[in-house]
């Protein structure tokens, strides 16, 4: 029996056609267009077309001061906006040597890891929805809603957070916040068995994902793959462990990995990552100290010394890097964002080649892209 790749090699002797998947397609979760070259239902090549939602965030950074840019990072990846917002604050703090109080560091970890779980839950629900399963979406969004309610009490937001400030956070957390967070962790740990039975052990889900969209090892260096996509290829790389920032080096947690590199194990990695985030949150809630939630002496005008600065954090999708060129003024001369979705998305021409049209939805959903951080 001929393989899919044999079909691709013989395609020149057949009639082929092009099909646009997007930019208005439910499974692209935004204005993304995949220009598919097809032989029947076999994908010969794919050309991702981006730019439909470009908003010039990096150019905006060069036309306002560092403080005015604070609301922007969470709109780059609006699904894990807390991590982006606080990550930007940490980049400036590193550049200027601003000390963050202990309590603020713990609050940031709790907020970031809750945001990571909520991001993975949105991925879980919408991924299964793309594949034709509706019930997991309801359970995932029910759990996600609990996180949004918790974060809303202290941030005033449910999606695009601007909770971080240079030197800390905008508002302290109270005992009710900590109690609700602990109760959520207790509740959420009971849900994993349900998700395992409903999704991971589901034979239909396995048929749609096992062996589909395999990332080959050479893609790591070729495209700079990071996050769950990288860890599903057996690489235990995580910025929180490799280059600890904040106080992540104080917490006991593991980096989940798998070896197959397909859609199925990428799902396993994200499920395990939610377990690890719960571990981190429980430790932070237990050990959070008293004290101020923002540094008392933060400069009124943020002016990093002239030079170049780089800082990266582990977002829900991978390595998010911020590169700043400062001329000594309060406005960045250049601010460049390295977003994981852009790099992971670039693998699609290699990964989708030789797969079926029906696999395109599964592959795209499994890498968990957020279009606004591609079109930033």
Q: Do the beta carbons of residue 161 and residue 74 sit within 8 Å? A: yes
* Residue 301 lies inside a defined structural domain of this protein: yes
245 phi and psi, to 5 degrees? Answer: -125, 165
- Residue-wise pLDDT tens digits, 366-376: 999 998 899 88
Average pLDDT over residues 288-307: 94
**Mean pLDDT of the chain, nearest integer:** 93
More confident call, 53 vs 259: 259
What pLDDT sits at residue 10? 52
Average pLDDT over residues 316-342: 95
What pLDDT sits at residue 5? 46
* Residue 30 lies inside a defined structural domain of this protein: no
State the pLDDT confidence band at 174, using cuts at 50, 70 and 90. Answer: very high
The answer on pLDDT for 241 being more than 50 is: yes
What pLDDT sits at residue 2? 45
Cα distance between the two ends of the chain: 45
What pLDDT sits at residue 178? 97
The answer on pLDDT for 324 being more than 90 is: yes
What pLDDT sits at residue 1? 43
- Residue-wise pLDDT tens digits, 107-137: 999 999 999 999 999 999 999 999 999 999 9
Return the closest-CA partner of residue 217 out of 232, 237, 205.
232
State the pLDDT confidence band at 222, using cuts at 50, 70 and 90. Answer: very high
Residues in the chain: 376
* Residue 50 lies inside a defined structural domain of this protein: no
CB contact set of 198 (below 8 Å; sequence gap of 6+): 135, 136, 139
- Residue-wise pLDDT tens digits, 243-258: 999 999 999 999 999 9
What beta strand segments (E) does 183-263 contain? Answer: none
More confident call, 25 vs 16: 16
Taking only Cα atoms into account, the Rg of the chain, rounded to an integer number of angstroms, comes to 21
* Residue 48 lies inside a defined structural domain of this protein: no
Range of the domain at 149: 55-374
Q: Report yes or no on whether pTM surpasses 0.85.
A: yes
* Residue 270 lies inside a defined structural domain of this protein: yes
What pLDDT sits at residue 12? 55
State the pLDDT confidence band at 25, using cuts at 50, 70 and 90. Answer: confident
The CA dihedral of 144, 149, 155, 159, to the nearest 10 degrees, is: 40
* Residue 120 lies inside a defined structural domain of this protein: yes
* Residue 47 lies inside a defined structural domain of this protein: no
Q: Is the peptide bond before 23 cis (omega within 30 degrees of 0)?
A: yes
CATH (domain of 169)? 1.10.645.10
* H/E segment holding residue 19: strand 17-21
CB contact set of 142 (below 8 Å; sequence gap of 6+): none
Tokens of 205: 């889900």
* Residue 34 lies inside a defined structural domain of this protein: no
Please, which residues bridge with residue 24 across strands? 31
What pLDDT sits at residue 26? 78
Return the closest-CA partner of residue 376 out of 42, 78, 5.
78
What pLDDT sits at residue 53? 83
Domain count across the chain: 1
3-state SS, residue 333: coil
């Amino acid at each position: 029996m001929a393989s899919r790749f044999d079909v691709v090699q013989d395609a020149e002797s057949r009639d082929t056609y092009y099909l646009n998947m997007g930019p208005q397609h439910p499974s692209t979760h935004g204005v993304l267009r995949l220009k598919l070259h097809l032989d029947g239902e076999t994908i010969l090549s794919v050309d991702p077309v981006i730019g439909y939602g470009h908003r010039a965030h990096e150019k905006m950074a060069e036309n306002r001061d560092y403080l005015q840019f604070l609301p922007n990072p969470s709109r780059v990846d609006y699904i894990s906006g807390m991590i982006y917002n606080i990550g930007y604050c940490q980049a400036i703090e590193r550049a200027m040597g601003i000390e963050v109080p202990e309590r603020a560091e713990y609050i940031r970890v709790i907020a970031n890891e809750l945001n990571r779980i909520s991001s993975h839950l949105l991925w879980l629900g919408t991924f299964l929805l793309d594949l034709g399963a509706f019930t997991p979406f309801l359970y995932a969004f029910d759990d996600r809603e609990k996180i949004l309610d918790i974060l809303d009490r202290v941030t005033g937001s449910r999606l695009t957070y601007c909770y971080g400030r240079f030197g800390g956070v905008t508002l302290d957390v109270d005992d009710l916040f900590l109690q609700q967070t602990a109760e959520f962790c207790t509740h959420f740990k009971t849900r994993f068995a349900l998700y395992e039975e409903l999704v991971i052990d589901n034979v239909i889900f396995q048929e749609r994902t096992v062996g589909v969209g395999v990332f080959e090892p050479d893609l790591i260096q070729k495209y700079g793959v990071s996050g769950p996509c990288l860890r599903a290829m057996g690489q235990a790389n995580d910025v929180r462990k490799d280059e600890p920032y904040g106080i992540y080096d104080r917490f006991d947690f593991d980096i989940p990995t798998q070896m197959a590199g397909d859609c199925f194990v990428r799902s396993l990695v994200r499920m395990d990552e939610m377990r690890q985030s719960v571990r981190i949150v429980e430790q932070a809630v237990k050990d959070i100290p008293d004290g101020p939630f923002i540094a008392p002496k933060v400069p009124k005008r943020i002016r990093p010394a002239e030079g170049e600065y780089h800082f990266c954090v582990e977002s829900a999708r991978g390595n998010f890097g911020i590169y700043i060129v400062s001329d000594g003024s309060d406005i960045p001369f250049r601010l460049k964002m390295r977003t994981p979705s852009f790099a992971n998305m670039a693998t699609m021409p290699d990964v989708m080649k030789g797969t079926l049209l029906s696999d395109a939805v599964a592959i795209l959903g499994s890498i968990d892209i957020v279009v606004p951080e591609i079109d930033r």
